Structure 1
Amino acid sequence: MQVQLLSESDSRLLTQLGLVVSTQDYQQTTYGAFVALVTSASTGYPFEVALTGGFSGRVVLADYITRYSFSHCEMAFVEAVPGQIVNQVLGKIEAILRL
């Protein structure tokens, strides 16, 4: 998933990779999605989940989740992520919520 955001301060178009972690039902009901940030700056942080395939070398930050409204940003599908990786991300989110 690639998220394009329009910066309110200077009207620049910013592009950010992210992993959608909300359900399709939620997205259709609220016209938005919860997205976990994807970055290439891996530090070994315990809430990072390594990606594979075309995005190897990048990590999902399970503790960096933002809600994006479909009316305020443009989202485009980039590549499917294996279910194992999604489950790892969701497991780390669940662990955070239990703290």
Structure 2
Amino acid sequence: SDGTVRARVQLHGQSEALTAEPAMVVVTPPNFGPGLFSVVTMYDVVYDLFVRQGWLPQPKRLTFWRHIYPVLERMVNSQWVNQGMYFLFGPGSPGDYTDP
């Protein structure tokens, strides 16, 4: 469902319709496949926003397994649906961060 979106808008009580400028839209599902998640999740974005706004306390101590590894793991796992990511982060590559 990607493509150009065009719209004519008529406000309540107005006789003339306004024509909006066309725009390109790209739509993707939130998950690329079962068990696969975006490299940066909505939780990551909202959590970061809340910490930056002072609505949540900043973690006293960052830990690799809780704060960093999940992002690296999601990046590596995206190899299964993205050939470019496969070459960069797939098995045997220097970017396969899940392989010790």
TM-score by length of 1: 0.24
Higher RCO, 1 vs 2 (CA within 8 Å, ≥6 residues apart): 1
TM-score by length of 2: 0.24
Which has more radius of gyration?
A: 2
Which one has the bigger strand percentage?
Answer: 1
